[in-house]
Structure 1
Amino acid sequence: MIWLSWRQFRFQACVGAVALALGAAYLLYLGMEIRDAHDAALARCGGSGDCGQALGQFQVEYRAPLIFLALGLGLALALIGGFWGAPLVAREFEAGTHRLVWNQSVSRPRWFATRLAFVALAGMIMAGAAGMLLTWAAAPVDEVAGDRFGTITFGARHLAPAAYAVFAVVFGTVVGLLIRRTLPAMAITMAGLIAFQFFVPNVVRPHLMTPERTTLAMTTEAVNQARNLGNISGGAVIGGITLPDHPDAWISRTSPLLTADGSPLAEDVFGACLDDPPKTGTGGTFGDTAACLGRLDLHLEIDYHPAARYWTFQWLEAGFCLLLSALLAAFGLWRLRRGTD
């Protein structure tokens, strides 16, 4: 049975191996280039010890390419599900060859479980290797950015890609089992997996652990360290906040700007500071606006996860994907036992 699975899967496996080899060569080259650029950025600090500007430029230079690579890995996972998982059973039903297999000594559950496990293991190995290479290549940038919990980057690092690959293969196989037509199963699988990779970080991940809560005073300096102020509806909100005591923490929720008594800052007061602040000559990103807000005794309530929870989240998210995979595989076996002609 394993030999038959290999013979039927060898073309896809060879294509995947070639793609992995090409990707590995590029990531090794990119990783060495990133390390050379990181060393050069540190050298530009000189004896002053002020590396902020040099490391900021280094991060900006490589952040976008690494995000595109993470998105590419996510697309590759969808392709694994669509081209490896979806045809695994659907093609047999479409061609009618499943009847020949079931008339042999191999039972339906064994046939299904062996083929599924073989392809899922191959997907896990290839996606896991790609994820670890990308993790290694991006390590200096991730260290400077302090954003390992990023919506896009987290799922492309360490354990997560391997677990997502297993889910992709199982999901595609079950979709093919239900639809029994290869091309529609491939299309539905890829669309579903892309949606799944947006669903997990935005809906599931924030609830895997209970966040810690703290308050942060919005002094002039704190406002100037933010990335943006306000939103399109004119709300008194601030974005891109970091916690001084937890610089690499994942901030999962930030309240609107609150006054000393805990009430939201009035939008007209916020708008006045944003559009026409008193002229004080304050420097920084937001200048006079930061000074205007800093005099109002404002604060934020912030839910966050400390950086030390990173590996816990990796294991929990991987476990979530593997648990869903097991449930889907069990459903597939149950459906197969009910009889499909």
Structure 2
Amino acid sequence: MIRLTWRQFRVPALAGLAGLVLLGAYLVYLGVAIRRDEQSYLSRCRTGGDCAGALAQFLGGYQNTLLYLAGLLALVPAVLGMFWGAPLVARELETGTHRLVWNQSVTRTRWFAVKLLVVGSAAVTVTGLASLLLTWAASPVDRLAGDRFGTIVFGARNVVPLGYAAFGFVLGTVTGALVRRTLPAMALTAVAFTLVQLLVPNVLRPHLMPPVTVTRPMTAEAINEARALGSLTGAPVVKGLSVPDAWVSEVSELRTRDGRPLSGEAFDRCFRDPPRTGATGTFGDAAACLGRLDLHVRLSFQPNRRYWAFQWRELAIYLALTGLLAGVGRWWIRRRVT
């Protein structure tokens, strides 16, 4: 059964291997270039040069490239689920070739389990090696940038991509077993995997561990450190506040000294038509006007020292979902497929 599965899977496996070799060669080249430029940046700092400028130049030269690569790696589990997982069972059920195997002393459970283990192991290995190489190549930039919890970056480093690959592949396989048609199974796999990948980082991940919550006064200087002020709905909010070596997961609305939300009228007055004081900074007079109102926000954040705890917990969640899906698929093959 293992040999038969390998013979059916060898063309996709060779295609995946070729893609991995090409990506790996580029990541090795990129990793060497990053380390060479890191040494150049460090030497400029040691000789009393513009260390901040050198750091900005070093990070700016690679952050976008690494972000694109992280986005590419995020697509790998979805692609493997669509093209390796979805057709794995659906094509056999669609053409009826599963009956030939089941009539030769191969049980349904063994047939399904071998397919999952052989092809699933290949999917996890390909994704794991790509993640390992990207993690190695990007490590100097990640260490200096300090943005370890970024949505795309977090999902493309270390052990979490292994869970994504296992889940995506088994999701595709079980979807194919349920639908029994290859093309619809591929489309449903892509949609379902995308939805999960949107929900987990935005809804579940911030609550994997209780956050640290602090109150921060919103002086004019603090407001000018934010990336944005206000929202499309006109809510009194500041966006993009940061905490050193931490991931800010939630920021409350602007609140007054007694803890009540700032009224929309007071916010609009400062935001749209503030008194002209000639204040400088990102938001200028608006920040000066709001700074005089004695405001504060409540910040919830996760320190970077919790990074590995988040990695292992999210991996465990995806592996649990994978096991649950595999159990559903086994039950369906045994009870519902004729």
Q: Deviations over 1:224-276 (max 9, x none)?
A: 22111111222211111112xxx121111100111111112223333333344
**Structure 2 residue ranges without an equivalent (≥5):** none
What is residue 308 of structure 1 aligned with on the other side?
305
Per the alignment, in what secondary structure is the counterpart of residue 216 of structure 1? strand
* Total equivalences in the alignment: 338
Change beyond 3 A, Cα 1:169–1:35: same
Distance of 2:330 and 2:83 partners within structure 1: 21
Shift of 1:47: 5.2
Per the alignment, in what secondary structure is the counterpart of residue 311 of structure 1? helix
Correspondences of 1:15-54 after superposition (within 5 Å): 15-45=15-45, 51-54=51-54
Shift of 1:32: 2.2
> Do the aligned partners of 2:220 and 2:287 also contact (CA within 8 Å) in 1?
yes
Change beyond 3 A, Cα 1:43–1:281: farther
Change beyond 3 A, Cα 1:255–1:147: same
What is residue 111 of structure 1 aligned with on the other side?
111
Per the alignment, in what secondary structure is the counterpart of residue 253 of structure 1? strand
> Do the aligned partners of 2:44 and 2:50 also contact (CA within 8 Å) in 1?
no
Per the alignment, in what secondary structure is the counterpart of residue 156 of structure 1? coil
Correspondences of 1:224-239 after superposition (within 5 Å): 224-239=224-239
Q: Deviations over 1:17-52 (max 9, x none)?
A: 110010011111122222333333444446557633
What is residue 75 of structure 1 aligned with on the other side?
75
Per the alignment, in what secondary structure is the counterpart of residue 257 of structure 2? coil
Per the alignment, in what secondary structure is the counterpart of residue 149 of structure 1? coil
Shift of 1:327: 0.5
Distance of 1:298 and 1:51 partners within structure 2: 35
Give the aligned CA root-mean-square deviation in angstroms: 1.9
More divergent stretch after superposition (261-270 vs 114-123): 261-270
Determine whether 1:336 maps to 2:333: yes
More divergent stretch after superposition (76-85 vs 141-150): 141-150
Change beyond 3 A, Cα 1:35–1:322: same
What is residue 249 of structure 1 aligned with on the other side?
246
Change beyond 3 A, Cα 1:118–1:316: same
Correspondences of 1:51-70 after superposition (within 5 Å): 51-70=51-70
Distance of 1:282 and 1:36 partners within structure 2: 43
**Structure 1 residue ranges without an equivalent (≥5):** none
Correspondences of 1:177-256 after superposition (within 5 Å): 177-243=177-243, 247-256=244-253
> Do the aligned partners of 1:229 and 1:238 also contact (CA within 8 Å) in 2?
yes
Distance of 1:131 and 1:303 partners within structure 2: 29
Determine whether 1:151 maps to 2:157: no
More divergent stretch after superposition (39-48 vs 114-123): 39-48
Shift of 1:285: 2.7
Distance of 1:236 and 1:47 partners within structure 2: 46
> Do the aligned partners of 1:75 and 1:194 also contact (CA within 8 Å) in 2?
no
1:269 to 240, 249, 266: 266
> Do the aligned partners of 1:74 and 1:194 also contact (CA within 8 Å) in 2?
no
Distance of 1:232 and 1:54 partners within structure 2: 37
More divergent stretch after superposition (251-260 vs 205-214): 205-214
> Do the aligned partners of 2:211 and 2:302 also contact (CA within 8 Å) in 1?
yes
| TM-score, structure 2 as length reference | 0.93
| Identical positions, percent | 55
Distance of 1:294 and 1:36 partners within structure 2: 45
